[in-house]
Structure 1
Amino acid sequence: MSGAQARRQITGTARWIAASRARESARADRLFDDPWAATLAGDDGFAMLAAREQGGQPNEFLPVRTRFFDDLIGSAVQDWPAGPHQVVLLGAGLDTRAFRLDLPPAWTVYELDHPEVLAAKAEVLDGVTARCGRRTVPADLGDDWPDRLLDAGFDPAAATVWIVEGVLFYLPSPQVQSLLVGAAHLSTGRAVLGADAFGTGLLRLPAMRPLVEHRTATGVPLPFCTDDPDGLLTATGWQPRSVLDVGQPGANFGRLAPVPAGWDGGADPTTRSYLLVGSRE
């Protein structure tokens, strides 16, 4: 896949996720409200959402994941003393947290993504005022993104919430390691990291077979999965604070089949999906 093709795929994925947020925002029992999501998604985004869910149930994991990370940011706002704190969205996509979350004016949200994604968002949000400081950082997460983040004004000593939502699966394993290590190295002050990951059993599902076979045949690395999320955090410089299976208390919000606390994965523990929280104190 060429660089241009990869960037188009990323932009398309961002619109699909925006469509999911728009659908959630239209519910009476919504977990969050993103009033810009429908415009950001556009017709293409809703078409992609419909195609991905064809013959199945709506993907409730996506709004649960978004709400989980919203709450992680909200907890930091409540727990940390007033000051110039930061949120960094690595692979921000068409996210609008700087506009829709009740963030203090002294906070700054840094949004890192490809220029095409940030430009698409700018067209929709032109004239809309963010609730806090906001800086967009055009960057490739496989390149020199730490330097670009620093150039944009990021302060490593300031308390920071790092959000890596829906990103790790699309990266090869070495890039995942580099990304999380990079965030840890830039966190010389208090920091919290939120990310999501899937177990390796996902790659054995019938729906994934064409992708796995194509990548294997062409020598392209498989999407990132892990059966050791605690180990992933520890190996990349983060202290595991919480690793929840999607559906467990705190990672459910009444939308998913309940998964009991302390669940070990059942017959095949590699089919698990995780919401991870790491910290650096």
Structure 2
Amino acid sequence: MSRTAVGVAALRALESGRPDRLFDDPYAGAFFHAGRALFADRERQDGRLGEVFAEQVAVRTRYFDEFVDGAEQVVILAAGLDARAFRLSWADGARAFELDLPEVLEFKDSVLAEQGARARCARTVVPADLRENWPEALLNAGFDRNLPTVWLAEGLLVYLTRDEAERLLTEVTALSAPGSRISFEHRPDGDQDEVLRKARAVGGEVIALWRDGLGPEAPKWMTARGWQTETVTIADLAAQYGREPAGQTRGGFLAATRIGEPNH
């Protein structure tokens, strides 16, 4: 089971307990308690890392909640302990596909079953390694490539090398009908981003896994492949949600809409 996924669930549980919460995830606490043994020998370090990312995760979760609003077909890449299929309101007939490693999905479904959780949309889990032939697994699970799709790559690209990120997004592009949308984290300052520097100062196993994905060039890369892009900062979203922005990072999110064929 992924320590990163359990750690993010802990932060979502903390946010859900606030009177001014940006979202409510009633399953996050159960995920953390079921997986907390993973933190037995690292609680102090992981607690410090959680302090760095708490506000980021709160804003990020709310942002991606809004990004899928009204979608008819959603694909959640590296879904981890994402419970959106169970906690959000969905359009009639909406379908959500969750891709992740088999052991992650098995852990997740066991906890949800214990909680008596019921999906609010047509939910399909797709056990797959994103470094392998996941498009075939998605298509075999009933994904409709002719339908505009909302893709979530929340907290994912930072763990991929540039080559891996390019391959993944090329595969997403090939499966995306015009009008499809995707969003993922974007940090225009790259390694110099304030939040990333603070996290690296804390260190730890999670930080050692970072590979930075497409880096600051993501908007240019996506535009060249038939996507129309825009970006928004964590600070602007925090202000919009009534929160005091944490730190001076220019980092935030890239949102892209599929408009046509690649330019090359």
Q: Which runs of 5+ in 1 are unaligned?
A: 1-7, 78-84, 260-264, 266-270
Q: Identity over aligned residues, as a percent?
A: 38
- Contact 1:25–1:31 at 8 Å: present in 2 too? yes
CA contact (8 A) 1:88 1:112 kept: yes
Alignment of 1:1-281 (within 5 A): 8=1, 11-42=2-33, 43-44=36-37, 51-54=45-48, 56=51, 59-74=54-69, 76-77=70-71, 85-126=72-113, 127-198=116-187, 199-202=190-193, 205=197, 207-208=199-200, 222-224=211-213, 226-240=215-229, 242-249=230-237, 253-257=241-245, 272-281=250-259
Report runs of 4+ in structure 1 exceeding 6 Å deviation.
45-49, 209-212
Normalising by the residue count of structure 2, what TM-score does the alignment of the two structures yield?
Answer: 0.82
Secondary structure at 2:110 match in 1: helix
- CA–CA distance in structure 2, aligned partners of residues 132 and 277 of structure 1: 23
Contact persistence 1:61–1:256 (CA under 8 A): no
* Structure 1 stretch displaced more, 140-149 or 186-195: 186-195
What CA distance in whole angstroms lies between the structure 2 residues aligned with 1:251 and 1:72? 17
8 Å Cα contact 1:245-1:251 kept in structure 2: no
CA contact (8 A) 2:186 2:215 kept: yes
Deviations 1:98-129 (A, max 9, x none): 01010024010000001111011110112422
Residues 238 and 244 of structure 2 are in contact (CA less than 8 Å); yes or no, is this contact kept in structure 1?
no
Aligned AA for 1:63? A
Residue 58 (structure 1) shift: 6.3
Q: Tell me, in whole angstroms, the C-alpha distance in 2 between the residues paired with 1:253 and 1:206.
A: 24
SS at match of 2:142: coil
Cα offset, 1:45, TM superposition? 6.9
Secondary structure of 2:155 counterpart: coil
- CA 1:274–1:228 in structure 2 vs 1: closer, same or farther (change >3 Å)? farther
Q: Give the SS at the match of 2:241.
A: coil
Q: Pairwise CA RMSD of aligned residues?
A: 3.0
TM-score (norm 1): 0.78
Q: Deviations over 1:13-56 (max 9, x none)?
A: 11001111111111111111110110111234777676334295
Distance 1:71 1:129 in 2: 21
Distance (Å, rounded) in 2 between the aligned partners of 1:180 and 1:51: 33
Aligned residues: 248
Q: Which runs of 5+ in 2 are unaligned?
A: 260-264
Q: Are 1:86 and 1:107, in contact at CA under 8 Å, matched by a contact in 2? A: yes
- What are the superposed Cα offsets for residues 184-220 of structure 1, whole Å, 9 maximum, x if unpaired? 11012421101113323149837527679x97xxxx9
